[in-house]
Amino acid sequence: MPRDPRYDILFESVKIGPVTARNRFYQVPHCNGMGHPMPSGVASMRGVKAEGGWAVICTEQCDIHYTSDISPYAEARLWDDRDIPALAAMTEAVHEHGSLAGIELTHNGLHALNRMSREVPMAPSDIVVENYDPIHARAMDKSDIKALRKWHRDAALRSKKAGFDVVYVYAGHGLSMPMHFLSSRYNHRTDEYGGSIENRARLLRELIEDTKDAVGDSCAVAVRFAVEELMGPGGITVEEEGKAVIEMLGELPDLWDVNVADWSNDSTTSRFSPEGSQTEYISFVKQMTSKPVVAVGRFTSPDLMVSMVNKGIVDFIGAARPSIADPFLPKKIEEGRMEDIRECIGCNICVSGDSTITPIRCTQNPTMGEEWRRDWHPERIQVKKSDDSVLIVGAGPAGLEAARALGQRGYTVALAEATTQPGGRVTLESQLPGLAAWARVRDHRLQQINNMTNVTIYLDSRLDADQIREFGFQQVILATGARWRGDGVGRKHREPIPGHDGANILTPNDIMAGKAAQGRVLLFDDDHYYMGGVLAEKLRLEGHEVTLVTPAADVSNWTHNTMEQGRIQTRLLELGVEIVPQHGVAGLRSGAATLACVFTGRTRDIECDTVVPVTSLIPNNALYQSLVADSSALESAGIKSVLAVGDCLSPSTIAAAVYAGHKAARGLDEAPVEGVPFKREIPAIEC
């Protein structure tokens, strides 16, 4: 299908100093949980994006020196020449598809705790570090600043040797030394590097000039700059530092990559910010510089992308998360296949890879992070190995993805769903406050399946073991999901809470099914992801007095990994939800509950009319157990395999369910792999 001419502007080439980008799609730097320990994985992941049409592909932050050690986090490194080959693997993968490779050179300043290198952290002034490590950063003297400039220049020269086309000076997210010098809350100096904004911007100016002098003849020099920290007068603001820096330095680099800080504001989840939420903060930049500008905003709508360019707000459509959800987003727009785009849902499960120092993953794109180690491609899959027909039971995220991928392989697939609506938990959870975008997980897969003549969905079709054996399918995949427990069993309480059977209990499934809570609500969150917080929000918005009790130190504790915990707790407090951290539930009775401190065991009573335990789930695996219990009956029915996937095997995230469905589809009829089923990157021993 030809491209819609409305989108032609997105495919114009753009000059960036001495290099030219083939279109306006720009994958900005983003972390991935692989970094320097897994260079092959990083190179393949970035290379797939270049294949998918992104004109510029950047690294994650790349630490330039051992005094910028942020171990244990797995970012890129360019400490010396020995790091060049690993980074060159990425540039080669990107160049293979005609794209430019960018590197984000970084010194993390007081955010580099140097746990591995054991060097003393440095900062503009003597100051304690921001997390809870018992460490102070020392004030840099003039010789330290001179050394930093040399380290950065050396890293720029190494970047050129590694084949990079765009070299960054990083002053964004509050994480880098130039940003620390710009910020008056970190910079208390009284010399020419402190005081006025001109002085505080001196280091940034010098690093730009040094980099231009070192590699500017053949490499573009970009600056990533946070124009706003959303902290009010205590932080960097558009009206003060933001506009002043662009006015002073606007013509120095070859490109401005502008955003808001910190990372949690730059990559806000869809629960708290819509697409394009940064536009109001960065829209002034192009009015103050002639150089090209890139900005992000979880852009998934081609029409909004065109609008951003036509309005003169940006020259490039910047993306991290949308490029993760669909590495082929540009190519699909170019080929007029908008309906095939896997739109980012803004859940930030991708960020959790960096937070937990594990390879990146994506709810929408189950191949993300698996490009090298499993040889998975987001658009290509091996053809079927037999003419077997496949029955999938359950049209939740695992079942839908298994059906879509098996249909793509060429199998004849029947997808049976017990209810009248496909989507399973996705359909239910996307109706909760702030989670509407999550319905894209269901909608994308339904759209793809509806275009397949070899996949058929049967709704309102609850099946038992006898029916499955009678149908004549050779392969059976069960994706029947899970249900929330109502007895309080979870991490804190490994046995049912005493008195639960006499209390007015509503499970999350009950609430999502429309059952109404009565009076005062006690919500016990021992799940620690989003469900407890979002149900507390829903119940409070419905007018209930809500008390959220959790054994953790704060609400929705795991969402620190998705950078939304602070927003969740703030919203609940602003709504008037009472939060009782570090407590379990010792007992329940009609109209009341007994809470117990997780440290001392001291108890106190709280009045409540409804109890909502958000603790753990029970797999809906009875159908699976019934089928596999009688192997002779399976053999007589001609069924070769029965596989349980997703929540009915092991309840987890939606991302894990989609991955499980995809993995099952790729593995059907394939020979089992002996040993470790994926490639590993093994450290070399240097003598």
Residues that are catalytic: 31, 170, 173, 266
Q: Look at residue 241 and give its three-state secondary structure.
A: helix
Amino acid at position 539, single letter:
L
Taking the C-alpha atoms of residue 167 and residue 208, their distance in angstroms, rounded to an integer, is 10
Taking the C-alpha atoms of residue 390 and residue 476, their distance in angstroms, rounded to an integer, is 6
Instruction: Provide DSSP, 168-201.
Output: EEEE-TT-SHHHHHH-TTT----STTSSSHHHHT
Taking the C-alpha atoms of residue 122 and residue 151, their distance in angstroms, rounded to an integer, is 14
Residue with tokens 């069960």: 478
> What is the CB-side half-sphere exposure of residue 262 using CA atoms within 13 A?
13
Question: Residue 530's Cα: distance from chain center in Å?
Answer: 14
Alpha-helix residue ranges (DSSP H) falling in 34-100: 39-51, 84-95
Question: Residue 222's Cα: distance from chain center in Å?
Answer: 24
Tokens of 287: 């009015």
Taking the C-alpha atoms of residue 269 and residue 294, their distance in angstroms, rounded to an integer, is 20
124 preceded by a cis bond (ω within 30 of 0): no
Question: Residue 133's Cα: distance from chain center in Å?
Answer: 26
Taking the C-alpha atoms of residue 610 and residue 520, their distance in angstroms, rounded to an integer, is 6
> Looking at residue 526, what DSSP letter applies?
-
Question: SS3 letters for 112-163?
Answer: CCCCCCCCCCEECCCEECCCCCCCEEEECCHHHHHHHHHHHHHHHHHHHHHC
> What is the CB-side half-sphere exposure of residue 266 using CA atoms within 13 A?
27
Sign of CA dihedral 51, 56, 60, 62: positive
